[in-house]
A and B are shown apart, each in its own frame.
Chain A
């Protein structure tokens, strides 16, 4: 299959896609960290009241 000719626009598009994809992934990981820490804190607090 013949390779596509080099296109600066396509290259920049790929870089932007990669960057936005990475920041989405980073945002998801931070969301998970906050979610887990938040719920863990709530559970620990509730158990300290019960305990």
Chain B
């Protein structure tokens, strides 16, 4: 049960993270100076950094010594970090005038931290100062790294057996320790992500982007966030080379970190012959939906074959990696594409990218195991009861699937789909049609971020609030939120 002393433990760590966010705010101020942004914009960042840092420092030093972190503290930290970080990060977006209201600024900030990319203000993004745009990109990159790092470090610090946190840690690296020590794993992860940031920036630079755009899109692409410095997203560039380069960046971002580590360490077998279960699953669905999408776009729109193939492939990759970049000429995809293709994008996003990556959705490992479990069930039913067959898959090493693991997966998927249903109903209750409500809700919950015509400055506050909640709970995979609120109950003393 959560008591006052438990809050002290959680808020001490939150205070530390606030101080780090305050330091991070100084970088956009410096870049703004370089690009000659207005003095007001620079002041906004400096003042916000000072206030955030002061609050963080006050909290950290006033709280004093605390006990060791337990599982309930780790869960509380993961749950509370996102809304609090988004709150402080929204002020530069609001005070510089990029967002017309606090709700829109908070929406943008939450969309950044959760690497969703959905925006109510993206129509004016070209007019934002460089400092604000860099901050938007940094929010997504920090959010992408943060979700992996916080979970490894925080959950590992919590004194508990790994089985009891399997639900919470389902996306996180507890099963993916790359080094024997957690700090060793965290160091490797940071090195990998910085390495990929540099490499992806170079790839985008070579493809034809200018340096600022290359760095920005490398940050948001690796984080599979999808923010862009242009209101028409990647369509602005009108370049096949840039489209291919952004596909590469998205696929790197949505790949399991453990696979990256294995391949970069020389274990090429992980990718050869699609040995890895998540790689196999991801490519199979990419193939099926790209082909189906191209056929639908050819037959149901006025697009030519080549355009249909190109746009289908790009958007399916964007949806499966839950990045959200688009190459459609209009901002509202629901105006450009038929309903069957939009539904396909939503389904791809719900399936999502690899586990232990920056992508969202249910994740390929769960999707693949659900499909395998259907086959195992068929075998179990048709074969004699005395026959024992292995239930295993390959991911770096051969792994066995237990009934407990499958139960965790089914519970998670059930909760996820229930959350999607609730969100759809809430949005519909504000007068929006079923199709758009479902698409926008799935776009928020899965961290996809593609706009389907609802998220805008003119949207009702209740709709924005629901989508903000979707982004928040979707990023942390819902279950930690349930566990957090349950921890207040006397039943779990």
Contact = CB atoms under 8 A, between A and B. Distances in A.
Given A26-B248, A44-B294, A37 B264 contact: no
B268 A24 contact: yes
A48 interface: yes
Q: How large is the interface on A (under 10, 10 to 19, 20 to 34, 35 or more residues)?
A: 20 to 34
A15 to B, nearest CB: 11
Contacts, number: 74
Interface string A16-35: 01101110111011101101
Contacts of A22: 195, 199, 264
A46 to B, nearest CB: 9
B251 A32 contact: yes
Instruction: State the majority secondary structure of interface residues on B.
Output: helix
A32 B313 CA distance: 12
B265 A44 contact: no
Contacts of B291: 39-40, 43-44
A36 B264 contact: no
A40 B313 contact: yes
A47 interface: yes
Interface in B259-286: 260, 263-266, 268, 271, 283, 286
A37 B305 CA distance: 12
B23 interface: no
A32 B305 CA distance: 20
B177 to A, nearest CB: 17
Nearest to B299: A51
Contact of A41 (B260, B263, B309): B309
Interface in B304-336: 305, 308-309, 312-313
B269 to A, nearest CB: 11
Nearest to A44: B294
B247 interface: yes
Contacts of B271: 24-25, 28
Interface in B228-249: 244, 247-248
A28 B313 CA distance: 17
A21 B266 CA distance: 6
Contacts of B252: 25, 29
Given A24-B268, A36-B283, 9 more contacts: A32-B251, A32-B286, A33-B248, A40-B290, A40-B309, A41-B309, A44-B295, A47-B298, A48-B298
Which 4 pairs from chain A and chain B are nearest by CB? A21-B264, A43-B291, A40-B291, A44-B294
Interface of A: 17-18, 20-22, 24-26, 28-30, 32-33, 35-37, 39-41, 43-45, 47-48, 51
11 contacts: A21-B266, A21-B268, A25-B260, A26-B248, A32-B283, A33-B244, A39-B287, A44-B305, A44-B309, A48-B305, A51-B299
Interface of B: 195, 199, 244, 247-248, 251-252, 260, 263-266, 268, 271, 283, 286-287, 290-291, 294-295, 298-299, 305, 308-309, 312-313
